[in-house]
Amino acid sequence: MEPWLVWVLLGAWGFICAIWVRILVGQLLGERLDLFLRTVPGNAGAGQGPSPLVRAIVPVRNAGREVLGCLDSLVSQDSPGLRITVVDDRSDDGTPAYLKQLAQNTDRLEILRIDDLPAGWLAKAHALWTGARCASEEWLLFLDDDCLLESGAVRAAIGYATRHGVDLLSLWPRHRAGGFWEHTIIPLCGAILALWFGSRRIRQADRAPAFANGQFILIRREAYMRMGGHAAVRDALIEDVPLAEHAQSHGLTCRTVGGADLVSVRMYRSYAGIRDGWARIYMGALRSGRKILLSVAWLAAGSLPPFVVGPVLLAVAAQDGESLVSDWGLLQGILALCVSHLLLIGAVSYRFWGYCRCARVYLLLYPISALLVLGILARAWWHLEVRRTVTWRNTTYAIDRRARILTRG
């Protein structure tokens, strides 16, 4: 290889390390700039007027007993003004019986049944829109049925939104990871989205890309209805990011913050579930084959070089150590980049795994995590750009290249 090409490659490697430094600085700034919602003491807010009125809307379909954990955590909230609507979207298992039993034990909860899905709608968006139109409270809280809330979560979220003048507040939860694949893959899956949407400094919030996490979205009802609600994103493959973009285009103030102390979720429990679920998320959130390919390029170039170059150097040294020693300056540069890159990956990933509350010991398998997430991104690109279909919950949807639903099977 020509010497000049070697130095060009080393310069590119140094540039990659500089990007990692910027990501690390962004993480540290986020921790200092009130981008993480902390646990609120039980007596915080006492004596400051009546409790805000909020309607939690939880869409469910064939959730069975699993939904009871979410609803119990809602019923146990210390917000007197909270009421709950469960939208039962065509469940045909034991879910209606579980919901009825729970509703008999509390006056906070009501059940709304849906028997049909209109053409042109994604099921979740339709369920949330149906529930929201029946609400009259000041705030709406859209919550997935696999979320568990700490007792002061709703109060803390409303308090944050009120203090900062936020119309739409979304939380990043912690992950209740229970299996190998969850600990290994999910933090890095979330990190890819954070690279596209997560650099939301408070002083530049109005210029940041719009983003929301559909697992927990709190929004002022008046603003929600004024912008057209979920009806405006009825054909989106996933509803949360398009909803945030639509809200921001209508002048609403949107913010997403870390909520690991207040909300937990367990999305997928198997490798197949993680693979299919996150491929769908990437398709619906990025909505661009180019962005997915850029994610692939960054993950490959940004993560794999030290895990490839290091073993190669060891192999060469074992066979012909003298050839390495003959160019000691170049070798020192390569080793310095390799070690620096590994340290930066470790420092950034240590925080990402911590945000999710996943076991950090799985960072030892980081190269495997990167390869698996590369496979998920490739799957997302293939289904978005080539097959133009996605299957979710036993329903196959035809989509366009912007991840909009065309037809469903």
Q: Residue 47 has what pLDDT?
A: 45
- Which pLDDT tens digit goes with each residue over 219-243? 999 999 999 999 999 999 999 999 9
pLDDT score, position 323? 59
Q: Considering the chain, what percentage of its residues have pLDDT values greater than 70? A: 90
Q: Which structure tokens are listed for 60?
A: 């469910």
Q: What is the rounded (10 degree) CA torsion for 137, 143, 147, 149?
A: -20
**pLDDT tens figures, 280-322:** 999 999 999 999 999 999 999 999 999 998 888 777 666 665 6
The whole-number average pLDDT for the span 16-40 is 84
> Among residues 12, 70, 1, which one has the least CA distance to residue 333?
12
Once rounded to an integer, what is the mean pLDDT over residues 344-371? 96
Task: Determine the pLDDT at residue 304.
Answer: 96
Q: What's the chain's average pLDDT?
A: 90
pLDDT at 96: 93
pLDDT classification of 1: cutoffs 50, 70, 90:
low
CB 67 within 8 Å of CB 60? yes
Angle between helices 271-286 and 180-197 (to 10 degrees): 10
Does the pLDDT of residue 399 top 80, yes or no?
yes
Q: Which helix (H) or strand (E) holds 257?
A: strand 254-258
Confidence class for position 397, pLDDT limits 50, 70, 90: confident
For residue 257, which of 35, 8, 27 has the smallest C-alpha distance? 35
Using the predicted structure, report yes or no on whether residue 201 has a pLDDT greater than 80.
no
Nearest Cα neighbor of 24 from 372, 340, 256 is: 340
pTM of the model: 0.91
What is residue 407's predicted lDDT score, i.e. its pLDDT?
Answer: 86
Residue 351 has what pLDDT?
94
CB-CB contact of 208 with 124 (8 Å): no
- In this prediction, residue 30 carries a pLDDT of 77
Would you state the pLDDT for residue 128? 98
Question: What pLDDT shows up at residue 408?
Answer: 78
- Which of 42-56, 243-257, 291-305, 333-347 is predicted with the least confidence, judged by mean pLDDT? 42-56
Residue 202: pLDDT band by 50, 70, 90 thresholds? very low
Give 382's DSSP letter.
Answer: I
Query: 284 or 331: which carries more pLDDT confidence?
Result: 284
9 pLDDT above the threshold of 70: yes
Query: 7-16, 27-36, 76-85: lowest mean pLDDT where?
Result: 27-36
Q: Is the pLDDT of residue 60 over 70?
A: yes
Question: Is residue 310 within 8 Å of residue 338, measured between CB atoms?
Answer: yes
- pLDDT tens-digit series, residues 87-123: 999 999 999 999 999 999 899 999 999 999 998 899 9
Give the confidence band of 76 by pLDDT, cuts at 50, 70, 90: very high
pLDDT band at residue 46 under the 50/70/90 scheme: very low
Give the model's pLDDT for residue 206.
Answer: 54
Which DSSP symbol is given to 239?
Answer: S
110 is written with which tokens? Answer: 């009501």
| pLDDT attached to residue 138 | 98
Give the whole-angstrom CA distance, residue 102 versus residue 116.
24
Q: What is the mean pLDDT of residues 387-398?
A: 85
Distance separating the N- and C-terminal Cα atoms of the chain: 54
Question: Structure tokens of 207?
Answer: 């210029």
Length of the chain: 409
Which DSSP category does 273 fall into? Answer: H
Q: What is the mean pLDDT of residues 166-170?
A: 97
Q: Going from the N-terminus, what domains does the chain have, and what CATH number goes with each?
A: 33-173+213-269 (3.90.550.10)
CA dihedral defined by 344, 346, 349, 351, rounded to 10 degrees? Answer: -90
pLDDT, position 110: 96
* 3-state class (DSSP) for residue 227: coil
Q: Range with the lowest mean pLDDT among 37-51, 167-181, 368-382, 384-398? A: 37-51
Element holding 367 (H helix, E strand): helix 366-381
**Angle between the 271-286 and 289-303 helix axes, to the nearest 10 degrees?**
120
* CA–CA gap between residue 243 and residue 236 (Å, rounded): 9
3-state class of 127 per DSSP?
helix
